[in-house]
Amino acid sequence: MKILVLGASGMLGHKMFQVLRERYENTCGTIHGSVHDGALANVSLLQDKHIIAHVDAENFPALASLLRRLEPDVIVNCIGVIKQRSEAKAALPSITINALLPHQLAEVCNEWGGQLIHFSTDCVFSGERGNYTEQDDADAKDLYGKTKFLGEVATENAITLRTSIIGRELYHHKSLLDWFLNQNGKTVRGFKRAIYSGVTTNHLAEVIANLIENHPKLSGLYQVTGQAISKYDLLCLLRDAWGLQVEIIPDENFVCDRSMLGHKFQQATGYVAPAWPELVAQLASDTTPYQEWRTENAVINRQTSADHGRNRIIGQGFGSAAA
């Protein structure tokens, strides 16, 4: 079984590469820049012969040539222009990466019978009502949500998983979790009416490993969801799991319910997400040495940040640095 993780330095991509590499020896990953860049130089996970550097997803002819040489059985696409970065407001990179790339990947890997696993987001929905299913109309108002919807590919050799994630990052440290871990001793707001039904990156990587092993030919559009939880309650769980001294002030002014229902995926696979306390406990007990990898000389200049940004998949809906 040959597996290729595209975007192996991102928030989801690095965890996907880490988990799949442990389970499947012939797992490779791509990154946009170099493993010797300041931000990644100390990341032992990526100092691996199975990492392929300098892969630009916007140059699809070159990427397609690489894919044809490798002919992976499974491509796991963790590349995306994320909502929090400036590129998400620019039409060309958003359309190229979020909307076109998934369809191009499915088409090229079909040449040798390969399968594509692609990720979409709860941000295809406006958040006006919640409890969305796969049959509901995507009503996103922004470019990010619209391009992610257009990128949902459901050919016979492709599966798109709509989900939303929280997790650790290797270098940007702007996701909800990394931002919150830096708030020790401070006061933040927690939105009680912002409802979320995602999972953690650690857990989603395990879901994908099990999907590859037990349901390798599953195709179509599915929503992978956890229990619905408010952002306030989620922050409280994170605070307690890490033992932080953070005062979380409940805020009911901001209202957004992008909760999704995952019955279709449950019926197809038997999947039921663990409760949030269990998901957070697993996240907090992760022994990956993130702090050791973050050294003073791992300085990210603007160009490095821009180059690597496209290798990150958003913590959809909950990745922003605002509490």
In 102-211, DSSP assigns E strands to 115-121, 158-163, 165-166, 187-196, 199-200
**85: confidence class by pLDDT, cuts 50, 70, 90:** low
Position 90 confidence tier, pLDDT thresholds 50, 70, 90: confident
For residue 156, is pLDDT > 70?
yes
Global pTM?
A: 0.91
**pLDDT over 80 at 72, yes or no:** yes
Number of neighbouring beta carbons within 10 Å of residue 203 = 23
Instruction: Write the Ramachandran bin of 76: left for phi over 0, alpha for psi from -120 to 50, otherwise beta.
Output: beta
User: Tens of pLDDT along 237-289?
Assistant: 999 999 999 999 999 999 999 999 999 999 999 999 999 999 999 999 999 99
The three-point CA angle 298-242-224 to 5° equals 85
Domains of the chain: 3-172+200-225+260-275+289-309 (3.40.50.720)
**pLDDT score recorded for residue 304:** 42
pLDDT band for 77, please (50, 70, 90 cuts). Answer: very high
* pLDDT of the residue at 296: 44
- Going by their DSSP bridges, the two strands 247-257 and 27-30 should be labelled as unpaired
